[in-house]
Structure 1
Amino acid sequence: MATSVGFDLDMTLADTRAGIAAVYDELSSRLGVPIDSALVVTRLGPPLEQELAYWLPPEEIPAAADLYREIYQDVGVPSHVAMEGAHEAIESVRAGGGRVIVVTGKNERDATSTVRHLGLDVDEVAGSVFGAAKGTALARFGAAAYVGDHVADIAAARAGGAFSVTVATGPYSAGELREHGADVALGDLTEFATWFAGWRPHAELV
């Protein structure tokens, strides 16, 4: 039986920091509101509206979110690059006959555009979900493992009945990810293929 895997996008498969910072800089300029984009990109993961709440009053957030997403396609996506080991991680799942789903807090349009821009060979993209809310997509897809860089991705894996694999390429160290309950914490995706090759036969027996 093949082992399918889910992956988070921002700072797991894709280094989106430069693109997202550029979008926030443009948003700041258009709105005339100071936004520290360098700070913003240190805490990627939660929904856009949650980040905007640090900079804007509640009544201005919906329009700002719409403008952010309008800017994103032209300013953000072209600046994204694949994380080291991302393509190889996906290829290792496919080599074992597994399928790949990306489950992310990023809205589905921008997530899909990012996946296409980076040439990531995935079967499905599920967007606009965060934390345990990702579990529904993971369970429906039949993901045996979910890979992410945020502690909320551990909750996502648990909610989806998946093995929690984390990478220390986001805001948390490997030690912190283990402390929050990750089943395994890797330094980055360059370690994934070797780990997966050893884990997959055991997963398929479950």
Structure 2
Amino acid sequence: MTSRALTVGFDLDMTLIDSRPGIRATYQALSAETGTYIDADLAITRIGPPLEQELRHWFPAEEIEERADRYREIYPTYALPSTLAMPGAREAVAAVRAHGGRAIVVTAKHEPNAKLHLTHLGIEADAVIGWLWAEAKAEALREYGAAVYVGDHTGDVRGARTAGALSVAVATGPCDAAELRAAGADVVLGGLTEFAPWLDAYVAGEGLDEGR
């Protein structure tokens, strides 16, 4: 493998950013606005799948599209200020660049909001592709020729495997290390602080067993 051809994809929520406080605040605002109870503390334990999937727990089917649109509209106001970069996020992206590679973000999140988060936190991606979940993430991973996809959810593992990319999982989201391994992750790391050393080994041709 040559470092010049290296493209690494990253998931966003709970991989590059800790969006739990912001998502919680947005659900609370939507609940107050609509008068519909939403257990925001429960909802943030299920981050990963598309927004509509979570909203089905709280709203009737005929309201989902409208409520999702409103959530995304108010999201920047409530979510951006309280969202933090995950430990090692900026360093992970820098590590890809240090090997002459490209870092792309492939996420189920509404793409404009994903871009706002990255800009706000100073995380510079070469491309940001939103609206893709689980196996559908393979579309973007294949398009950009990603050799590696890093994510925190079993859906991210499925997306990587569907694309034929190496699945590097970080146990920083709703799925623990055992779940990620059982889903077929090639590598499981405790978090992105472990990514740069792993990438060095991978580029040197030694990294496939790291983190197993």
Q: TM-score range by the shorter chain?
A: over 0.9
- Confirm whether residue 137 of structure 1 aligns to residue 140 of structure 2: yes
Corresponding residue for 2:24?
Answer: 21
Corresponding residue for 1:102?
Answer: 105
- Confirm whether residue 92 of structure 1 aligns to residue 98 of structure 2: no
Task: Write the distance in 2 (CA, Å) between the matches of 1:202 and 1:140.
Answer: 24
Could you tell me how far 1:201 is from its partner in structure 2?
Answer: 2.8
Task: Write the distance in 2 (CA, Å) between the matches of 1:91 and 1:132.
Answer: 27
- Confirm whether residue 187 of structure 1 aligns to residue 190 of structure 2: yes
Corresponding residue for 1:71?
Answer: 74
Corresponding residue for 1:154?
Answer: 157
Q: Helix, strand or coil: the match of 1:88? A: helix
Task: Write the distance in 2 (CA, Å) between the matches of 1:48 and 1:147.
Answer: 21
Could you tell me how far 1:193 is from its partner in structure 2?
Answer: 0.4
Task: Write the distance in 1 (CA, Å) between the matches of 2:91 and 2:18.
Answer: 15
Letter in 2 for 1:16: S
Cα displacement string for residues 61-109 of structure 1 (whole angstroms, at most 9, x for unaligned residues): 1110111011101111221110000011111100000001000000110
Query: What 5-or-longer segments of structure 2 have no aligned partner?
Result: 207-212
Q: Helix, strand or coil: the match of 1:66? A: helix
Runs of 4+ in 1 over 3 A off after TM superposition: none
Normalised TM-score (structure 1): 0.96
Cα displacement string for residues 159-197 of structure 1 (whole angstroms, at most 9, x for unaligned residues): 222100000000111122111110000000000001110
Corresponding residue for 2:15?
Answer: 12
Query: What 5-or-longer segments of structure 1 have no aligned partner?
Result: none
Aligned-CA RMSD value: 1.0
Cα displacement string for residues 129-153 of structure 1 (whole angstroms, at most 9, x for unaligned residues): 1001000101111111000000000
- Confirm whether residue 47 of structure 1 aligns to residue 50 of structure 2: yes
Q: Helix, strand or coil: the match of 1:164? A: strand
Task: Write the distance in 2 (CA, Å) between the matches of 1:12 and 1:201.
Answer: 24
2:158/2:183 contact within 8 Å kept: no
Letter in 2 for 1:184: V
Task: Write the distance in 2 (CA, Å) between the matches of 1:120 and 1:70.
Answer: 22
Aligned residues: 203
Task: Write the distance in 1 (CA, Å) between the matches of 2:108 and 2:137.
Answer: 8
Task: Write the distance in 1 (CA, Å) between the matches of 2:203 and 2:133.
Answer: 26
Question: What pairs with 1:195-206 in structure 2 (closer than 5 Å)?
Answer: 195-202=198-205
Q: Tell me the percent identity.
A: 54
Normalised TM-score (structure 2): 0.94
